[in-house]
Amino acid sequence: MAAGEQQQKSGISASSTSSGRLVTPFWKEKYERDARRYWDIFYKRHEDKFFKDRHYLDKEWGKYFEGQGGRKMVILEVGCGAGNTIFPLISTYPDIFVHACDFSPRAVDLVKKHKDYRPDQVNAFVCDITSEQLTENVQPSSADVVTMIFMLSAVAPAKMPSVIQNVRNVLKNGGRVLFRDYAFGDLAQERLMSKGQQISENFYVRGDGTRAYYFSNEYLVDLFSSCGFIVEEICVHNKQVENRSLDLVMNRNWIQATFILGSAGLQVPNGQHDNHTCEDKEDKITANAQKKRICEEIDLSEDFNNMFGTSYNLDEAQIIRIKAKGHDFKIKMLTKEYQHTCKLTGLMLWESAQFMCSLLAENPSVVSGKRVLELGCGSAGICSMVAASVAQFVVATDGDAESLDLLRDNIASNLEPNLLKRILIRKLFWGDKDDLKAVRELSSKGTGFDCIIGTDVTYNPDAILPLFKTARELISSEDSEAALILCYIQRRVDEDSILSTATAQGFRLVDKWINGIHQSNGIIGSWFWGNDVCSAFKNATLSILYFQVRH
């Protein structure tokens, strides 16, 4: 299949990011700043079991690893991971010497602990090649071959030229870069775009916080050519991977190329590369015999879900101590390192919940004697527990059964028996008529709640309308002062979208507060008098919106 045909089939536009929602600048910077940490967590969880050993290297590029006249070849593996490239190579070519680097210390440790690791044959070291020089561990112009296998895609596009230049510094003139990575139009790209996980054009964040760029031929050729490399071969491959257990056929794309440094080797006229691509031709796999198709190896892991945010283990939950005025809670939950690994955000504790908990503890009059409802409280329930100490009663709700189970445990282990009587825990899936009816009946004669609280419940664009419809159904119809209070950190949904939806559902904004930007002089502003709640959250871009029903 031609690269262009695959783009057309996938429905992804190569020149636009408009079909995907971009992550906010805050998260874009966080993913870049914490990139090493996310990969370290990845290798902590998966060790050497995620990626398959890359035995196809011998089939695809075997001639480049054979030294002429008994000469020992020097190989550099950039982004070595757990050694899935290194050790198959050493097994096939025992006379080579391999430098292997990765910016994840845990990955390098896995390489050094491998049963076939020998220091006289492998030099494994930690290096962030976007900012650290390879020449500190590898002699300049000493490597015959550099392998870059599913590595460059993890680097921000703006830093890719410096990575290629870094590689060039240790490669011999005439040496080769052997490249394989994700290609534009891959199923994973479609999935990430549809989930609103796009960072920039063709660059996405996966469910576990690691990132992936999806290359086109043109982009890759321009990238290497600008650093003095000549393209020897380049091709986009497509393969259908079948997952029978899920009854799913996945179209996976990857790009494979060989680049030569300097003028040695190919003589390419007018700066044009020798295509050997799939342009105007069938893909290599499609064109070859069926036998080739069957045996073709692909290391785009079949463990698809692990990269897109479903794996977690509650046995890894930790006890976190949360203190607020007059309260001292010990909460069991997943730590925030799982925020990109686990779909169930309710199993973690977010800043806005801690912030609102502290404000309620300092200002009990906000909920005192009232019928209080918390929406999307997750498994911690700290706002509901603070409210229960002074409210008439509290209903803590969430739409996820697993979060509610952990919530019951946390409330039971933190509240005295007399306070347990004031708090009810219920499933509430926003917009579900049966859930809405059951929760509303818990309020006094079904008249609704005096105070509805939601913390970090505005991060999903698709959930904003159901959120406000649910709040409108459940807020008191008799109390003109009944309030909906939302506390959040802005992520994928902007304030204008929240306010326009609120207005359409019959709410009016009474007051707002944005940490360090908009200081309220009204209701919310009074919550900060005589306390230093803000000091613990001074670096968080927290917002509070205070709504009442429009009469």
Instruction: Provide the residue-wise pLDDT of the chain in tens; the chain has 551 residues.
Output: 333 333 334 444 444 344 446 788 888 888 899 999 988 888 888 777 667 777 778 888 988 998 777 788 999 999 999 888 899 999 999 999 999 999 999 999 999 999 999 999 999 999 999 999 999 999 999 999 999 999 999 999 999 999 999 999 999 999 999 999 999 988 778 777 766 678 999 999 887 788 999 999 999 999 999 999 999 999 998 877 665 554 556 678 899 999 999 854 444 433 444 444 343 333 333 333 233 333 345 554 434 444 444 445 566 678 999 999 999 999 998 765 555 445 667 888 888 999 999 999 999 999 999 999 999 999 999 999 999 999 999 999 999 998 999 999 999 999 999 999 999 999 999 999 999 999 999 987 889 999 999 999 998 888 999 999 999 999 998 888 999 999 998 776 889 999 999 999 999 999 999 987 777 779 999 999 989 898 888 777 899 999 999 98
Examine the domain organization and report whether 258 and 325 are in the same domain: no
Examine the domain organization and report whether 457 and 380 are in the same domain: yes
- Would the pTM of this model clear 0.75, i.e. be above it? no
Q: 272 in a domain, yes or no?
A: no
Kind and range of the H or E element at 395? strand 393-398
Q: 140 in a domain, yes or no?
A: yes
Examine the domain organization and report whether 257 and 325 are in the same domain: no
CB 344 within 8 A of CB 312: yes
How far is the C-alpha of 468 from the C-alpha of 504, rounded, in Å?
9
Dihedral pair phi/psi, residue 230, rounded to 5° = -110, 140
Other Cβ atoms less than 10 A from the Cβ of 395: the count is 24
Q: 428 in a domain, yes or no?
A: yes
Q: 198 in a domain, yes or no?
A: yes
The single residue listed with the structure tokens 């509430």 is: 428
Number of domains in the chain: 2
Examine the domain organization and report whether 230 and 126 are in the same domain: yes
Q: Which domain-ending residue is among 242, 262, 282?
A: 262
Examine the domain organization and report whether 196 and 62 are in the same domain: yes
How far is the C-alpha of 483 from the C-alpha of 481, rounded, in Å?
6
Taking phi over 0 as left and psi of -120 to 50 as alpha, with beta for the rest, 334 belongs to: beta
How far is the C-alpha of 236 from the C-alpha of 283, rounded, in Å?
7
Examine the domain organization and report whether 454 and 537 are in the same domain: yes
Examine the domain organization and report whether 258 and 321 are in the same domain: no
Q: Is 544 helix (H, G, I), strand (E, B) or coil?
A: strand
> Sign (positive/negative) of CA torsion 312, 314, 316, 317?
positive
Q: 409 in a domain, yes or no?
A: yes
Q: Residue 115, class by beta-carbon neighbours within 10 Å (0-12 exposed, 13-18 middle, 19+ buried)?
A: exposed
CATH number, domain with residue 173: 3.40.50.150
- Compute and round to an integer the Cα radius of gyration of the chain: 28
Examine the domain organization and report whether 78 and 171 are in the same domain: yes
How far is the C-alpha of 404 from the C-alpha of 205, rounded, in Å?
28
In angstroms, the Cα distances linking 20 to 17, 74, 208, 231, 298 are 6, 43, 19, 32, 27
Examine the domain organization and report whether 224 and 339 are in the same domain: no
Q: 273 in a domain, yes or no?
A: no
Examine the domain organization and report whether 347 and 253 are in the same domain: no
Containing domain of residue 119, as a range? 25-262
